[in-house]
Amino acid sequence: MRLSMIVIFIFCVYVKARSVNSKNGVPKTPFDEKNKDHWRLQAQWTLRAKLSKPQNKNIAKNVILFLGDGMSITTLAATRVYLGRKYGLTGEEVKLSFESFPHTGLAKTYCVDHNVADSACSGTAYLSGVKANSQTVGLSAAVKRGDCEGQRNAAHSVTGLTDWAQKAGKATGIVTTTRVTHATPASAYAHSADRRWEADADLPKQGLRCDDIATQLVRGRVGSHIDVVFGGGRKNFLPKSEKDIKGQLGYRRDNKNLIREWLLTKESLGYKPTYIRNRKELYNLDVDRYNSVLGLFSHDHMPYHLEADDDDPTLSEMTQKAIEILSRNKNGYFLFVEGGRIDTAHHETKARKALDETAEFAKAVETALKLVNTEDTLVIVTSDHSHTMTYSGYSERGSDILGLVNNNKVNASDDLPYTTLSYANGPGYKPHQSFRRHNLMLDDMNSLNYTYPSLVPIPRETHGGEDVAVFAIGPWSHIFSGNYEQNYIPHAIAYAACIGSGLTMCEL
Ligand SMILES: [Zn+2]
């Protein structure tokens, strides 16, 4: 274990040990915070941890890229409090697993044609190193959304980390809590003029001859060579006449069973493949027997962690198994892990779910860190874009992050309470009654599905346009510091891992 991480871990234990809980169960500020020596000691520990860490200039044999979809910096700050209160702490002082990484940067996320990114153009940037148009996957900005001919023109396709890693003889894997054909995971292997073309049934009925994303995962040059694919979205791989393990019908109209085809294709390529469908099958998976695994754990997106049952593996469990399989490759691996439901929860302004999904994402990073050696494994944690959630008011330390500002003791100018978390737009808009703002005291904020207030009524809350954080640990993690365009990220990863056609450390 790295010295800097040991120092930070000891400090976290120290803070936790010195926290004092009041009799009514509301956490109090750790009492040492009132002592100036507490802050001096804390800062000195941080300084010593940084000074003790020499720059790691090894080759990154392995790379794990963690992507919290829609995981804005505000989301991180709010999740600390959400997690901290679970530990009986005030929360603000807590660090998420990756917030102890030695190097941090900020990435600018805009698309070529829009000021606020969607997950497709953003995914193309941080996985392939080229900024693209909104809603397009793995294509240059010469292709507009829906331009099938542009998709078919090989000159407009962009290659990325998955391809570069495969060409270097590394194993590759994708883990997500969304459909494996959704825009973010698709950006790791597909080229599509419209992110919505996940199955053939999604293409317009105009005889467009463009491969859908699921087909590209099974038959594509890059997709067919991915060793591990874990996530949701069985429906896009099954014909509409066929039911899955839960009795739900497939969605494809070309009558293809792409799961069966995936197994046959893998065998023909010399792999030892298997297909798994639930948590039990993941748990029982024999990693000595199979070196290529397709795990489709739900019909659509995987359920939110707060609503999951025993059949649903967690993001941590999927990440652990993926690393166990991929790490058997002597040339190393590239693994892409997405916490995809942070974003969908934000779109619904369901802040409780968004914070919980972020906490689960942080757990998955923690799981990975226990399994890898950061002397030869580069771990990056970032996001694709922000959201409109704000964290505001002047509540006391340790207040319920999902509650009202100051427990409703201080109201707004209209003498009504307001929430610490709210959104600029989205379905949480509460119509005024008799020209007065809705009284939030009437709402049940403990409900998992409570929609946090938004200023502007629209059915789906939008993404936000500010920069996202990038956290890095391992070989060459120091080159991820600073402020840069998002498409820099895969170039820096490729440099550290000696993959791709750009500059690499191996050429020095
Ligand atoms: Zn989104």
Ligand 1 centroid to Cα of residue 26, in Å, is: 34
One-letter amino acid for residue 502 of the chain:
G
> How does residue 28 score in pLDDT terms, banded at 50, 70 and 90?
low
Q: Which of 358, 448, 452, 449 is nearest to 404 (CA)?
A: 452
Reply yes or no on whether the pLDDT at 443 is more than 80.
yes
Gap between the Cα atoms of 337 and 318, Å rounded? 9
Ligand 1 centroid to Cα of residue 421, in Å, is: 18
One-letter amino acid for residue 169 of the chain:
G
Give residue-wise pLDDT tens across range 293-347.
999 999 999 999 999 999 999 999 999 999 999 999 999 999 999 999 999 999 9
Reply yes or no on whether the pLDDT at 52 is more than 90.
no
Residues of the chain with CATH 3.40.720.10: 62-388+468-507
Which CATH topology does 62-388+468-507 take? Alkaline Phosphatase, subunit A (3.40.720)
The answer to whether the Cα torsion of 246, 198, 487, 496 is positive or negative is positive
Q: Above pLDDT 90, what percent of the chain?
A: 85
| Residue 49, token pair as written in the block | 């941890």
Q: What is the pLDDT of residue 23?
A: 42
Q: What is the mean pLDDT of residues 450-455?
A: 98
Give residue-wise pLDDT tens across range 372-386.
999 999 999 999 999
Phi, psi of 367 (to 5 degrees): -60, -45
Q: Is 294 left (phi over 0), alpha (psi -120 to 50) or beta?
A: beta
Gap between the Cα atoms of 365 and 319, Å rounded? 8
Q: Which of 395, 314, 389, 320 is nearest to 355 (CA)?
A: 389
Ligand 1 centroid to Cα of residue 379, in Å, is: 24
Ligand 1 centroid to Cα of residue 384, in Å, is: 9
Ligand 1 centroid to Cα of residue 43, in Å, is: 37
Find where tokens 């998002």 sit.
486
Strand 386-387 and strand 463-464: the pairing is antiparallel
Active-site residue identified among 97, 100, 119, 327: 119
Give residue-wise pLDDT tens across range 131-147.
999 999 999 999 999 99
Phi, psi of 196 (to 5 degrees): -75, -10
E runs forming strands in 307-375: 333-339
Q: What is the pLDDT of residue 20?
A: 42
Contact indicator for 198, 214 with CB cutoff of 8 Å: yes
Model pTM greater than 0.85?
yes
Ligand 1 centroid to Cα of residue 118, in Å, is: 6
Q: What is the pLDDT of residue 485?
A: 98
Name residues whose C-beta falls within 8 Å of residue 390's C-beta, 6 or more positions apart in sequence: 74, 421, 422, 423, 424
Ligand 1 centroid to Cα of residue 238, in Å, is: 25
Q: How many CB atoms lie within 10 A of CB 303?
A: 16
Ligand 1 centroid to Cα of residue 351, in Å, is: 14
Phi, psi of 177 (to 5 degrees): -100, 0
Ligand 1 centroid to Cα of residue 221, in Å, is: 28
Name residues whose C-beta falls within 8 Å of residue 62's C-beta, 6 or more positions apart in sequence: 170, 326, 327, 332, 333, 334, 335, 372, 376, 377, 378
| Residue 71, token pair as written in the block | 């995981």
Find where tokens 């940084």 sit.
50
Catalytic residue list contains 119: yes
Give residue-wise pLDDT tens across range 83-114.
999 988 999 999 999 999 999 999 999 999 99
Q: What is the pLDDT of residue 30?
A: 67
| Residue 257, token pair as written in the block | 């069973």
Cα of 85 vs its chain's centroid, Å: 23
Residue 39, beta-bridge partner list? none
Q: What is the DSSP string of 421-444?
A: EEEEEETT----BTTB---GGGS-
| Residue 412, token pair as written in the block | 């707004």
The mean pLDDT of the chain is 93
Q: What is the pLDDT of residue 208?
A: 75
**For residue 354, what are the CA distances in angstroms to 72, 106, 305?**
11, 21, 10
**For residue 469, what are the CA distances in angstroms to 93, 106, 268, 387?**
18, 5, 42, 13
Residue 29, beta-bridge partner list? none
Find where tokens 């293409």 sit.
203
